[in-house]
Chain A
Amino acid sequence: DIQMTQSPSSLSASVGDRVTITCRASQSISIYLNWYQQNPGKAPKLLIYTASNLHSGVPSRFSGSGSGTDFTLTISSLQPEDFATYYCQQGYSTPQTFGQGTRVEI
């Protein structure tokens, strides 16, 4: 299985901050990396697919980059509704695997 490692595991930030979360794959996954946002008690929501494509309806303050083994999710100006847990997921090979999550706290 491909292991996905996110960093940091948690971070504290303020409204308006620029936030960056990284995700590293244990082997090359090309661009097949997706990002999700999950609020407590809710299902994850797709934010970014294939590394850098913004999912429909997702605010433009979210962006993704990377290829191969190293990927980044950036929130350009943190909003109150962005305080949540973020997960990366590789779709390169079965089984699809997720990072352990990054909790963004106030």
Chain B
Amino acid sequence: QVQLQESGPGVVKPSQTLSLTCTVSGASISSRGIYYWSWLRQPAGKGLEWIGHIYTRGSANYNPSLKSRVTISADTSKNQFSLKLTSVTAADTAVYFCARMPGERSGFDPWGQGTLVIVSS
């Protein structure tokens, strides 16, 4: 059973960098199949936004709306992948989820439980 768990600071100051890690259990992020290890977010009371994903051999795609500020990377030795979002503002306050997408056009499953990140001084 594949499980994902987000971790990282719950509060980040404006203009600083948000850093989160997703730890995967029950599957290897470096396995042969093409899986897309993804980050999404959801501001309170609002809808879901795809941030980006990393896949085979460290390739990544990002949402154009965030591309200039986002980096997603993987640490295969720890079976983790990470999100860095620079120059954060209050608009980046949200619950951040990591999730797996089993194929480029498939749905996101499973998801981590989510972690709330508040941007505040």
Where the two chains meet, the residues of A that have a C-beta atom closer than 8 Å to any C-beta of B are: 1, 32, 34, 36, 42-46, 48-50, 55, 87, 89, 91-92, 94-101
Interface residue SS majority, chain B: loop
Determine whether the beta carbon of A99 is less than 8 Å from that of B111.
no
Q: Which residue of the partner chain B has the closest CB to A93?
A: B105
Question: B: which residues have CB within 8 A of A?
Answer: 47-50, 61, 63-65, 97, 99, 101, 104-109, 111-114
Complex A-B: 19 CB contacts under 8 Å: A32-B105, A34-B106, A34-B107, A42-B114, A43-B99, A43-B113, A46-B108, A49-B107, A50-B106, A55-B109, A87-B47, A87-B48, A89-B48, A91-B105, A91-B107, A94-B63, A98-B49, A98-B50, A101-B47
Q: Which of A32, A43, A99 has the most CB of B within 10 A?
A: A43
A-B pair count, CB < 8 Å, reads 58
Contacts of B109 in A (CB 8 A): 45-46, 49, 55
A89 B108 Cβ-Cβ under 8 A: yes
Residues of B within 8 A of A34 (CB): 106-108
Chain B residues whose CB sits within 8 angstroms of the CB of A45 once the complex forms: 109, 111
**Which DSSP category, helix, strand, loop or mixed, fits chain A's interface?**
loop
CA distance A55 to B63 in the complex (A): 26
Nearest CB of B to A28, in Å: 14
**A49 touching B113 in the complex, CB below 8 Å, given contacts A98-B49, A100-B47, A101-B47:** no
Which of A50, A87, A91 gathers the greatest number of chain B CB atoms within 10 Å?
A: A91
Q: Indicate if the CB atoms of B47 and A43 lie closer than 8 Å.
A: no
Task: Report the separation of the CA atoms of residues A92 and B47 in the bound assembly, to the nearest whole angstrom.
Answer: 19
